[in-house]
Amino acid sequence: MAQDIEAEHSLLARLHRGFMPIEDFANLAAAAAIMLLMVLGVLQIVLRTVFNTPITGYIDLVELSMASMAFLGAAYTQRLGAHIRMELLVGRLSGRALWAIEAVGAALAMFIIAVLIYHSFGHFLRAYTLGDTTIDAEFQTWPSKLLVPIAFTIWWVRLALQFVGALRLAIFPDATPIAVVVAKDVAEQAQDEIHEVMGDDGDLQGPEGTS
Amino acid sequence: MIIGIGMSDPFLVGVITLFLLLGLILIGVRVVFAAAIVGLLGLVELRGWGPAAGIVGTIPHAKSSTYALSVLPMFIFIGFLAFHAGMTQQLFDAARKWLGWMPGGLAVATVFATAGFAAVSGASTATAAVFSRVAIPEMLKYGYDRRMAAGVVASAGTLATLIPPSAILVIYAIIVEQSVGKLLLAGFLPGIFSAVVYAGIIVVWAMAKPGSAPSVTGFTWGERMRTLPGISPIILVVIIIMTSIYGGWATPTEAGALGAFVVFVLALIRGTPVKSIKNSLMESAKLTVMIFSLIWGVLVFVRFLGFSGIPGAFTEWIVGLDMAPMTIMICILLGYAVLGMFMDAIGMLLLTLPVVYPAVIALGFDPIWFGIIAVKMAEICLITPPIGLNCFVVNGVRPDIPLGQVFRGVALFFIADVITIAALLMFPEIVTWLPNFDFEAWWSGLWAATS
């Protein structure tokens, strides 16, 4: 029995660690998009006011690029437990009850994200087959729409890992937490805020559970 | 009314889903999932699975790819970059030299340095964290009361959400479909007003207890002037954002991009390590996705709410109440104060506005004014027990100041905030004057007068 737990332990832990670079990369892509948005904005001002030749389809371009910033970091943010929620109850629970509730939460999240993956893919497919373009500059919209199911799939995998992690702890409350977000009280949240601002390279030892 | 057990009555479905939403949020389901699930289930009940899921599937992309929202990542990025570029130290140094002579001078300087930092940052807790490190040691060195030192940092952090660029005001503007520019402008004067009330209360307190908050004197005008170059990027960012909104020479996104670029170049000049810049980008991406998820999640729910007729019914009920609108407004604000004790300000506003906002407008209140008041209310909760995140942040940076002392120090500023809220209720012009000010007419009038 103990070995079974041990085996599952290592598999889950390996999946957890193995998946992290993908999430990090997706968030890095979102970060790059923010950087590009800045450069694009400055270019637009300079080109328009100094050379009187604004970038063609600037607004369309910005709108299409929003998808990368709005979705790609979702799984990364999920891993760090930064999507907001009310911690009033979960902050007080511990042991089996806590992990059972966390598992329920993750299962619900997996359900809605699965629905959204399926139907946002449909949204993309329609745009792709119809050759949908933006009104002004007539850019293709499908690449932007495709980002939603891609980002949500990464998100779903992270949620699934958290679900398994929480379920495992609900069954074996004394096991080492893996692939779950450890609920924090206010003091610990405050520490996170401080850490966030004061920097350090401690990003990866953050609140994402130990492995 | 409850004939439709088959669940075809939109209103009944609406009420049931509202309770479901409340339940999910209480057990700690993340707000984006709770709102989206409940919105989906409600739509399925009213429209059937196919159409409902189809509608819901388009919402994330459709609602996120709007130009107005693109200002958010820019504002967020400016804030994170400014921290990493070390602007806070210089701001505090400047404020200390210019304002130190006042009674309680270092505390007053902290308030205005924070207000200045708020002009590049829109995040309250982060501002409190940074100033705990910069200002508290200085105040303690001069023998300031520990409670005062901790209280002023925790409270002044809340100024960040009113003074532009403020992420939360942009979100409010988009949810209630008001002009982003107007809301950003509207926050400016109340933010300054809050700072002045804070400073006033510090001066009064310092004069009553002379030993516990001494003034710092002996700076020459030359020393004061030499602090100005250090804070000039912040002044530049303020000028860029304010003039672009007024003069219309750039959209808020472009102004945000230019502001970020100014801070970015400055960070490079100061030798900020590339790693720090990358970190601030990663943090910006994280915060951006968090806010966008919240927005589309809540908008799924809002789509359903529209079908259910709940906002209309709530408005009708509120308007039918036999009470003065101001009494109702105060009740709504008290409700926000209680809710804010347990919930993040952005989440709280996003979830409640779809129902509360139409009622507030039907009562005849100004939409811009209500946004500022609601945000100020939510911010007060950052310094009140039991959650009071800003107080925990100060205590976290300075473990030598016990939490109890921080909360006691904050009490003084809580009084100041109550004064501010009362003033905003009595004189809505503090909020509405600047956004409605006709700059062009004034400018051409001035032009005509001189020539």
Q: For B116, phi and psi rounded to 5 degrees?
A: -65, -40
Tokens of A134: 């933006």
Q: For A133, phi and psi rounded to 5 degrees?
A: -130, 165
Q: How close is the nearest chain B Cα to the Cα of A190, in Å?
A: 5
| Residues 6+ positions from A172 with CB-CB distance below 8 Å | A5
| Residues 6+ positions from B57 with CB-CB distance below 8 Å | A115, A116, A118, A119, A120, A122, A123
The reported pLDDT for the residue numbered A6 is: 59
- Cis before residue A54, ω within 30 degrees of 0? no
Please tell me if residue B248 touches chain A, with a CB cutoff of 8 Å.
no
Residue A201 has pLDDT above 60, yes or no: no
Q: For residue range B112-144, what is the model confidence (pLDDT) as tens digits?
A: 888 888 877 766 777 788 788 888 888 888 888
Q: In chain A, how long is the greatest CA-to-CA distance?
A: 73
Q: For residue range A37-65, what is the model confidence (pLDDT) as tens digits?
A: 999 999 998 998 888 888 888 888 898 89
- Of residues B31, B285, B395, nearest to A27 (C-beta): B285
Please tell me if residue B54 touches chain A, with a CB cutoff of 8 Å.
yes
Task: State how far the alpha carbon of A95 is from the alpha carbons of B43, B227, B432, in Å.
Answer: 36, 54, 52
Residue B7 has pLDDT above 60, yes or no: no
Q: Which long-range contacts (CB under 8 A, 24 or more apart) does B250-255 make?
A: B250/A45, B251/B67, B251/B71, B252/B68, B252/B71, B252/B170, B252/B180, B252/B181, B252/B184, B253/A37, B253/A41, B253/A62, B253/B67, B253/B70, B253/B71, B253/B74, B254/A41, B254/A42, B254/A44, B254/A45
For residue B446, count other CB atoms closer than 10 A to its CB.
10
Q: Smallest Cα–Cα separation from B125: which of B150, B148, B159?
A: B159
State how far the Cα of B250 lies from the Cα of B380, in Å rounded to an integer.
33
Q: Which residues of B touch A191 (CB under 8 A)?
A: 396
How is chain A split into domains, by residue range? 2-208
Q: For residue range B325-364, what is the model confidence (pLDDT) as tens digits?
A: 888 888 888 888 877 777 777 778 888 888 889 898 988 8
At CA B370, angle to CA B364 and CA B372, rounded to 5? Answer: 155
Query: Which of A54-58, A196-200, B16-20, B446-450 has the weakest average pLDDT?
Result: A196-200
Scanning B376-435 for CB atoms below 8 A from A yields 386-389, 392-393, 395-397
Q: ipTM of this model?
A: 0.85
State how far the Cα of A37 lies from the Cα of A43, in Å rounded to an integer.
10
Q: Which of A22-36, A83-97, A179-193, B417-431 has the highest mean pLDDT?
A: A22-36
**The amino acid at B222:** G
Q: Which residues of A touch B61 (CB under 8 A)?
A: 67, 120, 123, 144-145, 148
DSSP code at position B213: S
